[in-house]
Amino acid sequence: MASPDTVWHHAVIQRAQRERQNGHRSAVLWFTGLSGAGKSTLAHTVEEKLHHLGVRAYVLDGDNVRHGLCGDLGFSVAERGENIRRIGEVAKLMLDAGLIVLTAFISPFRADRERVRGLFPPGDFLEIYCRCPIEVCEGRDTKGLYQRARAGQVAEFTGISSPYEPPAEPELAIDTDTLSLDASAERVLHLLRERGVIGGT
């Protein structure tokens, strides 16, 4: 997808140069799971740990993005797809900037996630499935969204009136109902080290 009468401008400074300056590779960590599964909490915890390691990272949070970039979108299947498409394109730009991008979005449909994966070279997109039973997610629901969805007050709510399609082969699956937050974050860091994104052991 491109606007007509435009030509891509190739920057003088390339991704590899930015990565060398940063001292680490760039990558996209795509956290997916039900509302209340702990995606945002885990992504921000990982970001904090990376910051303390001197790694340049940034979280794109689902709610925050809908306050601006995607503030014009609702929650129909088509609008959810457009939401994820926009985030994928933003993440692609941030990857080129040499950052580790952590995205925390329900992104319920497998096809939408695979479409975003296709934007990136192999190894740059790491899907992290925050696996958590819906009963636990409902118990954590401080916003009361599940209760409102079950009462029919929230349309197209994932897990209640709209499906969630779990990843078939995520790079990492974390059972956020049983694993502590710190242990979950360490598993993500281990993945980054294992894939050569950051150094250390």
Q: Examine the residue annotation and report whether 26 is marked as an active-site residue of this protein.
A: no
Catalytic residue among 26, 35, 40, 107: 107
What residues contact residue 79 under an 8 Å CB cut-off, 6+ apart?
A: 73
131 bridge partner residues: 175
DSSP label of 171: S
- Supply 133's token pair: 């039973």
Asked whether 101 and 95 are in contact (CB, 8 A), the reply is yes
- Supply 186's token pair: 């360490």
- Supply 110's token pair: 């497998």
Phi, psi torsion values for 10, nearest 5 degrees: -85, 120
Query: What whole-number distance in Å separates Cα of residue 15 and Cα of residue 162?
Result: 38
With 0-12 CB in 10 A as exposed, 13-18 as middle and 19+ as buried, what is 171?
middle
DSSP label of 159: T
Please identify every residue annotated as catalytic. Answer: 107
